Amino acid sequence: MAIAYLLHRAGYAVATFTDAHTFFQDAKHFDLALIDFSMPSRSYQKEMDGCELIHLVKKSLEEPPILVLISAFFTKLIIPQVVDLCPEADAHWDKSISTEELLVQIQNLLSQRNTSHSKSTSPQAKKSS
């Protein structure tokens, strides 16, 4: 919840979800999602970790949001193994990321997405593909 508060204070519209299934139903409405690797599930639902959710969203949506896998269990040293574990994630962060770095990384990801969307809708990009 601290990250949600921080992002709200920085001017982002923020929604939080308590389980993967609820997020999956609304995923198409977001530009970016921070997905916790160890997310809770409701007792009557199959448990799904963050990596499985990212895989499902990428497989199911034509234009998925930017999906960042994040965890308190990750460290900078094991991020390369995490990338191998969940290559579908657009980024992999540990929760020890500083406030400033978090905001910079989010802005960079959103800017890259906007740039790639602009290129894909420009007449030149359509012509060359």
Report the sign of the C-alpha dihedral through residues 20, 26, 29, 52, in that order.
Answer: positive
- Predicted local distance difference test score (pLDDT) of residue 43: 56
- CA-closest candidate to residue 68, choices 17, 109, 33: 33
Q: Where are the domains of the chain?
A: 2-128
CATH topology of domain 2-128: Rossmann fold (3.40.50)
Average pLDDT, the chain: 86
Instruction: Reply yes or no on whether the pLDDT at 90 is more than 60.
Output: yes
In whole angstroms, how far apart are CA 105 and each of 53, 66, 112, 126? 21, 12, 11, 29
What stretches of 55-121 adopt beta strand conformation (E)? 66-71, 91-94
CA angle, corner 117, sides to 104 and 22, nearest 5? 70
Read off the pTM: 0.81
Q: What percent of the chain has pLDDT over 70?
A: 84
Distance CA 77, CA 102 (A): 18
